[in-house]
Amino acid sequence: MLILECPNCGVMADETELSAGGEAHLKRFGPGSSDEEFEGYLFHRANPKGVHFERWRHANGCGKWFHAARCTNTLEVFATYTAQTSTVPDTVIAAIKAKRPDWSHET
């Protein structure tokens, strides 16, 4: 039962106030994209054991989406941050590296 801080309204939200939205920072592929690109967009997910970037919505709360950087193994939350970005902010990467020096961000 996680708690995540909603960066939009500042609430330390119980998981039961949230709904999960899967992997973050997917690039949308639309008409004109190759089969491989579209397959990757629709179906391929990183599913790492370790640092993961996720989408969450404060559904029973302010209703806004946000992103979380979280370890899927220890459940440590490195940061929650705005959903209005297509890349991981540098501050978030720095926050992860501070805790996991060996980790590197693959894009």
Binding residues for another protein, rule: CB under 8 A, are 1-4, 8-11, 14, 16-17, 21, 28-33, 35, 38, 41-42, 55, 57, 59-65, 71, 74-77, 83-84, 99
Helices (H), 44-100: 90-99
Tell me how far apart the alpha carbons of residues 92 and 87 are, in angstroms, rounded to a whole number. 10
Rounded to the nearest whole angstrom, what is the least distance from the CB of residue 21 to another protein in the complex? 7
Look at residues 27, 52, 49 and name the one whose alpha carbon lies nearest to residue 40: 27
Rounded to the nearest whole angstrom, what is the least distance from the CB of residue 35 to another protein in the complex? 7
CB atoms within 10 A of CB 8: 17
Rounded to the nearest whole angstrom, what is the least distance from the CB of residue 101 to another protein in the complex? 13
